[in-house]
Each structure stands twice: as structure tokens, then as C-alpha cells.
Structure 1
Amino acid sequence: MYYPYFRGKLYDLITIRENAELLATNNFIPIVEPVKQTLNGLTKTIEAINTVQGEMILIVNPTYGDHVGDCKALNDLLLDTFKSNSNILVGILLSQTTTITDIQSICDLHKNSRRIAFIHNGFTNTSDLNTYIHSRIQNFLHIFIEKNGGKLYRGKFKDTTRILVRDSFEKRANRAYEDTERFSELHLTYQDEGMDGFGDFLIVSDEFSESGGPAYAVAIHITFIDTDDDDVMHIHHFKSDRFDTPTDPAGKFAEALAKLDREVNSGISKVKKTDAILEFLDLKSRGHFPGLGYVKKLSMQHHLETIADFFSTKR
């Protein structure tokens, strides 16, 4: 049903590992596009998913990061280290530069071992792809990155399992965010779109960068379901008061965290007190700054917990 898309940085992988049971219990299937050369963190993440008998999609031909142009290490990881784990799907990114030969080569490597997930993101040769798909007995999953896969494109893959991934997080300078804004309604409308599931890039966005710039302002991004707006998901941007220089990130985090604390303890907040929120509150009580990567991890965890809570109440 829900397919969160991660780029495979350090805290992305830690988020998956620490929430593996939550993901598996709720039938959430994370998509991972590895961007780092070292595979230690990725290996630990797959092991965590296996331990709870969950599923994951591993993209073996990333378009960003250290593995661009050479997917041998990622294919070998699945063919050797995890050859008996069919719950890890092979993800093939279909971009503007992907050829049918590329697709055939990867599919042939894994033809006897696991399912294939096509991640459509700018690919145009749909005629030859459909011809190839219909010549195979493999079970294919189709995932569409919405900005590069409109309804007309998605309609060419009817009668298949289809997932729509929307980038709902608009990346801006932290100080430029509104305090609160609408985030997404795709969790409510994906079936109206003719889809079997939905996904997003959590609170990170599809825009890729190797590392963040200097933190002139610190922001904590917290999603919530607005029951007064037909269960549409909204997002709070709790921002630091100061944003003139890139100094004192710890102090700026404390400023943003104080605003989060006031909101969730206001008595009228729609933010769920998830495990991630409770950890934020614990950080405030201890006056501890864990680093901006860890802050992002907690925000991603809260997003996963919020979606899980929403669907658990609808069952």
C-alpha cells in the first residue's frame, strides 16, 4: 500500500532499520536508491527487513551517487549475499537514458530469483517495454514518479500493479517555510487515481544533494493528519528564531524544538505523540542536540508512524 522512497544515505538507512518492524507490520515497502559506495549500512538494513519478514525494493541502477553507471556491486549483493531472500525486490529505474537492453540485462540476472519493480521516472520507450514485459513470465510491479509519469503515461500499463509516488515536500530555505501548510492527500486519493498503492519522499523531497548546506535556520518538519480538513495530511515547519548566520545549530535547534513542544502539548494539537515525538520531547528535557541528521531521522520516523496510525484506525 505505502512505498516510502529513500535515497540510501546514512540516516535514511538507519530510519528503515529502526522501523523495520513498523514497516513490516503495516505492509509498508520501502524503496531504496543506494547512493553510497560502501554497502555495510545497506547490508544491515536488508538484514533488519529480513529479520521481521518484511519487503523492500532495492534499486540496482541508481541515477545519483556512487553507483551511477556501474550496478555490479548492487546486483552481486542480491545474487550472492541475499540470494535466498526473495522478499527483496529488484528495482530498475527507468529514466530518459535507460535502454531496453539495460532492462533485459538486469532482468536476466534475476529471472529465477525475485520480483522486478520498474520505477518509471522519465522513460519514454513504452512500446518496446510493453512488448518485452509481455514476453516474460516474471511478475512486474510498476512504480511511477508522478512528476515524470502523468496519467496518459501511466495508462499504458493498465491491468498491472501500479504505485504512484508523489513528491509532496517542496524544498526551500528553512526560513522561507510557512509555519503550517498542506502536504498531501494521496493517502486518500490513490485508488481514485487507479493505483494500488502510493508513496512519497517523506519530509526530504526528490531533490538530491550529497550534503546539506550551512544551517542558517534550523527547521523541524512534522506531518499530521488534519481531521478538520477531510483527513488531508498537513505539515508543521517549526523554525528557529535566528537565521542570519550559519552559527550555533544547537541553539537554533533548541529554538525550533521549543515551538514543537508548545504545539504538541497545547491540548489541541493534531500531531500524534508518536515514539519520534516523544524522543523529541526527551531531547528538549535533556537540552541535548543530536545533530541535524538525527533530527531528520526522527522527522522521517514520525512521518512513517503517522501514516501507520492513520491506516490502523481505518481498518
Structure 2
Amino acid sequence: MDLEKPAARKQPAPAPAGAPAEGCLVTAIRLPVRIVALVVVVPVRLLWDALVAVGRVLRDTVLRPAGRALLWVGRALFVWPWVALGRYVLVPVGKALGWLGYVLLVVPARWVYRHALTPLGRGLAWLGRVLVVVPSVGLYRYVLAPVGRGIGLTLYWTARVLFVLPALALWRWILVPAGRVLAVIGREVRDALRHAWRIAGYVSRAVGRFFGTLLRWILVEPVRWTYRNVLTPVGHVVRDVVWRPAAAAARAVGRAARQVLAPVRDSVRRARADVRRLLLGAPERPVGHQEAAHREPGRPQARTLGSSTTALTKD
């Protein structure tokens, strides 16, 4: 007899709080929309990934160096001359003109404003307050405001009955239900496009891996095998059998040629020196050098046991 309790069935996870309940409309819309979105989005995603790869290659190899070159040329032709013109011509001229305008216009205008226009403006403001503002305030407070309140209350209720209440009914009973249905459809279309885009990404990566593997086995691996098993041993044999003996023979020939040509060079050098001496004579030593040689004391000879240069053995 089996004493173990049967495993409890896995209960479905409760829906998160605030999530909309899925009805028959959602179930009827979701599957067709997702199938159509997958069929439409997969080719678009493959084309998009290919264009992105090509665009990256063009950006790194063509557009970025060309943009840097054009930027440097544009700076050299348009920015730097205008910067130099503004810094060394327009700025000093503008400072001079500003100082001249300040002296000729601002200082006199300030004096006129302070000593003439300000008192005149204060007087005109007080006449305007007495003649215009005070009567206007009284007219607004005691005449226009009561009349405006009555007219505004009438217009408010008229507009509320004619426009606000029909618009509120239209919004509550027609637009809100239609918006909910459209929101469900739009949400399902968005989810379908999102799933289709994700699946298309998986398909695109699988296609890219397939072509990469195919290219590696068709091109890279044969080239690597040929280099490792054919070209490398052949190169070693050529290096050990041909190149090194040839280099050693060339070095030996070079040494022998140098040894043969060394006496010839010495003979040519001596013959050229003899011809120069016969034609031009022996080169004269400079006078200063001769006088210095006469002035310099002679180098003492090395002492030997038989020499008698010491004071004890001098005759």
C-alpha cells in the first residue's frame, strides 16, 4: 500500500494587483496578431541587422576618417580665419566703438534721463493717476464689475447646458468604452510586435552563426590547415636547406672579396697620394705649429740601468 501523499497540483500564480482581466476579446485578438507580426517582423529584423553591420563597417572605415578630414579642412578654411579676424580686428574695433559710444551717447543720455526725463515722468505719472486711474478704478468697481458678474453667470450656465453636459455624456458613454477596446487591441499589437522582434533577433543570430560557421569551415579552416601542415614545413625546409646555406655562402664570398680588395684599395690610396705629392708637393706644416713644436721641451728619454742621467752618475 502506497503511504505517500499524492503531490499537490501546482496552482496557477495569482494575477498581479492592478492587472486588467483578460477576456474573450483579448484571447481572440492575440494569436492572429502575433502570427502576422512574426511573419512581417522577421525579414525586417534580418535586413535591419545586415544594414547595422554594413553601417558599422562604413562608419569605422570611411565615414569617420572622412569626417575628421572634412572637420579639419572646415576649421582651417572657415573657423580659424574668422577666429583670428574676430580676435585681432573686430574685438579691438568693437571695444573702441563701445567706448566711443559710451562717451558720446550713454553719458549724455544718462544725464538727460536723470535731470530732465525723471522729474517730467514723475509729474506726468501723478497727472495720469489723478485724471485716468482713479476714475477708471471707480468705473470698474461700481459699474463694470456687477454687470460683468451677471453676464458671466448667465454665459456659464448657458455653456454648461449646451456644451459641457453633452460632451461629458459623449465622453462617458461612447469614447471611454471605445478607448478601452482600442487600448486592448493596441496592447496586444505592441506585445505581438515585441515578441516577434525578439524571435526575429534569435533567428537573425542563428542565421549569422550559421553563415559564420560555414565561412570558417569553407575558408578559414582550409587556409589554417594549409598554412600549418604545408606552408610551415615547406618554409622550414627552404630556410634550412636553401636560405641559410645561401646566406652563409654570400657572407663567405663577401669576406673573401673584402680580403682581395683590401690590398688593391691600399695600393690605389698610396698611388693617389704619390701623384698628389708629385703634382702639388708635400703639404706645408702651419707656422704656429712649428713654433709650438720648437717651444715645447723635448720628451725625456726613458731611464735605463746603463744611462748616466742622475746626479750621482753624471760626469
Q: Normalised by the shorter chain, which TM-score bucket?
A: under 0.3
| More strand per residue | 1
Structure having greater relative contact order (Cα 8 Å, sep ≥ 6)? 2
* Structure exhibiting the larger radius of gyration computed from Cα positions: 2
| More helix per residue | 2
